[in-house]
Amino acid sequence: MKFLVTGATSGLGRNAVEWLLTQGHQVHATGRNQIAGKELTTLGAQFTALDLVTATDTDYLQLLSDCDIVWHCAALSSPWGRYEWFYQANTVVTARLAQFAGKSGIKRFIHISTPSIYFDFQSHQNITEDYLAEHFANHYANTKYEAEKRIQEYVKLYPDTVYLILRPRGIFGPHDRVIIPRILALLNRTGGILYLPGGGQAFVDLTFVLNVVHALYLASDKQNIQSGNAFNITNQQPCKLDDLIHLLLKDQLNLHYKTRSLPYRLLYGTAALLEGIASLTNKEPALTRYSVGTLYFDMTLSQKMAIERLGYQPLYNMNESIHLTAQWLQQSGHV
């Protein structure tokens, strides 16, 4: 089979391409980082440097040519920014790619969405796929949900293409540019002090990147699965945030740091102020209300659908996931 992987030069997409190549599959990878693209070409991928926001219809059709399955990993993933940036990168791009996939007769289109559509500044346990926040916390969640709605429209229009949606929670691991890099950058700014709302006692449900790749492959291969289904994906090991950070920073990386507990309302108010300043400077604030909320409120996801319909079970437990992440951080010079 030949796979098209978007967002292939970092994060999930980069891991997906590397794994597929080790399994002997043909891969057409696309992303904006040409240096990373050359590395993927060396590994055996066909690489196209492309910005999907500005790409033409012809560009999209060329990406899909001769492909059987699409793994759409590309997205603008940030807690802050202008609505138009998110709408173009997350909603419009997904809609265009999904439509062209249907027109081109692609067998499966697997879209990476987000559990951020559940987040509503409250604690929740065992959230099922049919839950939805009454008000979205940011433009990222809003536009990712709009992308899901567009995909559901194509489920009816293109019955020969199976469209599936995965919602992995808090992806971390090799090539991550979101979660762990932000923590390390914060430690650098504060001189080794990690300020956490409530002392990091919130329960989080994170996902190692190679477990997400495993879920992607199951979604590509599982027979008799209904087009349009959405699945929560996690490591299935909810843990306290402070325990996870300690396992990575102290036990694996041997970094010396101190945790300081701050009141949620104080951090929330500070974040609101920083966001106001950022709206004038167009520079991402060091702290956002969404980020503060995700560190303070419990969020765990139901895995019933993924287990029963995809047959998904994590290949790597949390200890193994943290160890492999630390290993990559050290080898790549990030620590």
Provide the pLDDT for residue 188.
86
Q: Tokens in use for 209?
A: 């990147």
CA distance 272 to 163: 38
Residues in the chain where the model's pLDDT stays below 70: 334
Strand order in the sheet with 46-49: 46-49, 26-31, 2-6, 69-72, 108-112, 162-168, 230-233
pTM, rounded to two decimals: 0.94
Q: Which amino acid is at 57?
A: D
**What's the length of the chain?**
335
Provide the pLDDT for residue 40.
96
Provide the pLDDT for residue 182.
79
Domain 2-175+207-234+301-315 has CATH 3.40.50.720: yes
- The enclosing H or E element of 124 equals strand 124-127
Provide the pLDDT for residue 55.
97
CA distance 131 to 172: 24
Find, among 103, 218, 91, the residue nearest to 161 by Cα.
Answer: 103
Exposure letters 15-53 (e unless 16+ CB within 10 A, then b): bbbbbbbeeebbbbbbbbeeebbebbeeeebbbbebebe
Q: How does pLDDT run across 29-76, given as a tens digit for each residue?
A: 999 999 999 999 999 999 999 999 999 999 999 999 999 999 999 999
Provide the pLDDT for residue 81.
84
CA distance 127 to 218: 22
